[in-house]
Structure 1
């Protein structure tokens, strides 16, 4: 698909930039990914969530680049959430009552590191 002279520069090594880099590299492009700091070395990324909820669509994107199984090894399945009502009752609400698909909790920095090292 790509020939030797096809080079792509991606500025921003966050989740989207790094996933795009993996997609393009798998298609034969030479990809240069630029990020202000090495995200893999961040202990805490202040101002952002620590964990992300990975849905079926996210898993599909990871599957397309061959990283789904690697990422799933670092996740915790989440079947749903509990709602705590003032009366003291608790209600469990599944994320997907029809298809029984879980969301998967994954650390943002770990996911980013797995994508960058692709």
Structure 2
């Protein structure tokens, strides 16, 4: 089951929580070239990640171009991180992941967090190349 959260000062968050989830969270950024996609378009993957890992998956609905110019998506990624930190998660309890453009968001967020000396526990990114 998907839960939606509408935090103040952060993008809408879609939560996938497995039964008896551990007190950790994976922030997942969807792909779509920064112009398409959403947590809904990736719901099968997000649910599978939550079930397989046994931890909650939080998928921000970050702002898309061209309606929202750079750096809107990066700002939303950082706002989602800050919201989880304010909610009580330590950096070591948060992992980042994403596919395609979402992987780019995860990597840019990682760079920012490392510069602030608050890196996450882990990072996983992937993208399908040419076939």
Shorter-chain TM-score above 0.5:
no
- TM-score of the pair, normalised by structure 1: 0.26
TM-score by length of structure 2 reads: 0.25
The structure having more radius of gyration, on CA atoms, is 1
